[in-house]
A and B are shown apart, each in its own frame.
Chain A
Amino acid sequence: MASHMYELKKGIFKENPTFIIMLGMCPTLGVSTQVSNALGMGASVLFVLFFSNIVISMLRKVIPDTIRIPSYIVVIASFVTIVEMVLHAFVPSVYAALGVYLPLIVVNCIILGRAEAFANKNTVLDSALDAIGMGIGFTLSLTLIALIREIFGAGTITLFPMGSFSGVITIPGLSESPVRVLTLAAGALLVMGYLKAFFQWKTSRSEKA
């Protein structure tokens, strides 16, 4: 039981895919301009990671070693295609916002990395738990970066419209004079760098303790 819990929790902080393992940097920097994009991308990666890890773990004894990478890519690409179709049909605004980054989930290092490094060698349950933990860790990291970039770079927090709520929370003071550089590519790297430094400091502190 303890080992199952470890598989679930490790991706959230100790082996966080963004800040510790440093995987999936391209979408992290690309879509973290708005919180809604980060949540949409995070949920999409979580979905693809969860199902691809389960399928790959189930087929790990069937897939010959020589064709394992093409097989993983086919499985991952199928789930990405499904996510694309579902988002396009039910949440077209998120589909449009994620744009080219959505099909690029196929080559997201987190997904192929977890398939090769974990699902390929572990049981279905552990692989599913690993996917949930890593997916949540990725979503939280992406949302944290997007939150900082959007609050300080645009003075807003963009969520999803619901009923009379437009989906955009405007922050007085910051919306009139935002730090625009944070919404640009350079801002993404700056925020990422500071957060990485913070995580590094936190990890080294807990190791010393």
Chain B
Amino acid sequence: MNTILKTGITLFLICALSSGLCGIVNSITAPLIAANVEKETLEARQVVSGGYEIGAGIESDDPLIASIMELTDGGERVGFELELLGSGYGGEFTIIASYLLDGTLLEAKMMANGETPGLGKKAEESWYMDMFKGKGGDTPLPGNKNDLDDPSLVSGASVTFNGVSNALRYGSEFVRNFKEV
């Protein structure tokens, strides 16, 4: 009994000290990490805006859309920029995507993700989103890799592709059906 108690207490103390140390470092680094993420998001928003002005933010109560920004041209609304939440092979990811009012995808950029380098991580490259750009309005967005001209581009990372496609199609549908509250 004594051995079990001693072993348990030792392991507990090691865990408690380790998590305490991590907590201290986290309290120092968390604000810097948040600032980095914010800066990265702002830069991505500018790139994804497709040359349009980023207007006012609209509150989102949709669990798959973290934020909604209006895209304007000369003060007139032309589309939306959405921060979409999706799920791939490496867990949850975030995509910033811009759409015209008819649901056509203008630009998209993969942000935070846990995809595998060399496979799902390809979604971070610009050519990857080119497969979706200009679609979602008259032409439907590809729903699976067989809808692509060259399915081999995403071979080995179908789960990521489906996750990206689902998120972008959800965004397109959302923009098409958007109604001001």
Does the CB pair A100–B14 fall under 8 Å? no
Does the CB pair B116–A100 fall under 8 Å? yes
The interface residues of chain B lying within 8 Å CB-to-CB of A78 are 18-19, 21-22
The interface residues of chain A lying within 8 Å CB-to-CB of B36 are 88-89, 92
With A and B bound together, what is the CA distance between A70 and B12 in angstroms? 11
Does the CB pair A64–B21 fall under 8 Å? no
With A and B bound together, what is the CA distance between A90 and B7 in angstroms? 38
With A and B bound together, what is the CA distance between A53 and B97 in angstroms? 46
Binds A, one of B25-33, B64-72, B168-176: B25-33
Cβ-based interface call for A23 (8 A): no
Choice from B10, B30, B116 contacting A64 with Cβ under 8 Å = B10
- Residues of A69-105 contacting chain B, CB below 8 A: 70-71, 74-75, 77-78, 81-82, 85-86, 88-90, 92, 99-101
- Residues of B1-37 contacting chain A, CB below 8 A: 3, 6-7, 10-11, 14-15, 18-19, 21-22, 25-26, 28-30, 32-33, 36
Does the CB pair B14–A82 fall under 8 Å? no
The interface residues of chain A lying within 8 Å CB-to-CB of B15 are 74
Does the CB pair B32–A64 fall under 8 Å? no
Does the CB pair A81–B22 fall under 8 Å? yes
With A and B bound together, what is the CA distance between A59 and B13 in angstroms? 12
Smallest CB–CB gap between A39 and chain B, Å? 18
Interface of A is mostly: helix
With A and B bound together, what is the CA distance between A185 and B156 in angstroms? 15
Choice from A75, A86, A101 contacting B18 with Cβ under 8 Å = A75
Given the known inter-chain contacts A63-B10, A71-B14, A75-B18, please indicate yes or no for A99 contacting B117, CB distance below 8 A.
yes
Which size class do B's interface residues fall under? 20 to 34
Smallest CB–CB gap between B66 and chain A, Å? 20
Cβ-based interface call for A24 (8 A): no
Does the CB pair B32–A90 fall under 8 Å? yes
Cβ-based interface call for B135 (8 A): no
- Residues of B112-126 contacting chain A, CB below 8 A: 114, 116-118, 121
Cβ-based interface call for A30 (8 A): yes
* Chain B 87-125 interface mask (CB, 8 Å, partner A; 1/0): 000100000000000000000000000101110010000
Cβ-based interface call for A62 (8 A): yes
The interface residues of chain B lying within 8 Å CB-to-CB of A82 are 21-22, 25
Given the known inter-chain contacts A67-B10, A185-B118, please indicate yes or no for A74 contacting B29, CB distance below 8 A.
no
List A residues at the B interface (Cβ < 8 Å).
30, 59, 62-64, 66-67, 70-71, 74-75, 77-78, 81-82, 85-86, 88-90, 92, 99-101, 185
List B residues at the A interface (Cβ < 8 Å).
3, 6-7, 10-11, 14-15, 18-19, 21-22, 25-26, 28-30, 32-33, 36, 40, 90, 114, 116-118, 121
| 19 A-B residue pairs with CB within 8 Å | A63-B10, A67-B10, A67-B11, A71-B11, A71-B14, A74-B18, A77-B18, A82-B25, A85-B22, A85-B26, A85-B30, A86-B29, A89-B28, A89-B32, A89-B36, A99-B121, A100-B117, A101-B117, A185-B118
Contacts A85-B29, A88-B29, A92-B36 given; 4 further ones with Cβ under 8 A? Answer: A75-B18, A81-B22, A100-B90, A101-B117
